[in-house]
Structure 1
Amino acid sequence: MAGNVTFLQSEIQMIKFFLIVNRYGQTRLAQYYGERPSIEERQKLESEIIRQCVSRNEQMSFTFHHGDLKIVYKRYLAIYCIATVEEGANEIAVVSFFDFFFQTLREYFGDITEFHILYNLPQCYTALNEIIVDGQVVETSKQKVVTMLNSIYV
């Protein structure tokens, strides 16, 4: 696991925003890092990016550009994880972060579905904020994150 820690922390660089959406394109979790666009700009940007992600077929790459933004996404059954990252970011490291985040939530909840996210948003945001600070992955221990969640949400 030590190699993965270095890989996640050193290869992602800066995440600009992270979204979890369902297969219908409804945003379930959104977190922005750094400069935040206005609400109107955010809604337009999210809508365009989500539409592109959910309309792509499985044979297409899990990365694409939207204007000057680099998008990385992964589908987990009926849920999509989407991140906008700096141009030099390692896409595989971003997908590894998605996997790590979902594994952490799965360990905490016992399973992970759209409903776990929707009805437990505070726990999901707390886990995300423990893992990522200012767009950088800072925590890569699932056990530490789960222990912290258990201590807050008894």
Structure 2
Amino acid sequence: ALDRHYVTHVRKPLDEIAMNDASQALVGLHDFASFAGPKAPHDALTMRNVETASTTRIGDSIEFKITANAFLHQQIRRIAGVLCDVGTGGSPVAVVGELLATAERGAASHVMPALGLCLENIAYERADECGLPAKSPVSTPANTVDTGIN
């Protein structure tokens, strides 16, 4: 169909309420090492400040939105994978909090395909800023990522 390049199809029904409940554990300042992909430098700081996270149903689609000061390699794809597991009943809602508490690099192993991932906005406080300093991710303005899970 027309949206095949813009959404990820999941064959099982998804419980968006459970997914949204699980996503609330992401909000706040946390160590996201469990959601870091293999290309994230091993000496990189993995603390990130998530301002908002939500999962909503829009027709036949589920939309996951997250706003944070910075993201790690594959962080959003791994979060979406965990939320998808929660939505299908394969993992409990508490799994997100457990993974954050573990902070074991790559512990969130379900990586969703890049299809459906959409960077919506990058906001900088000053016009001359052009990226996130590698050693101080906690103080940067928010970025928003929208994942279309269908």
Q: Is the pair's TM-score, using the shorter chain for normalization, greater than 0.5? A: no
TM-score, scaled relative to structure 1:
0.30
Bigger fraction of residues in helix: 1
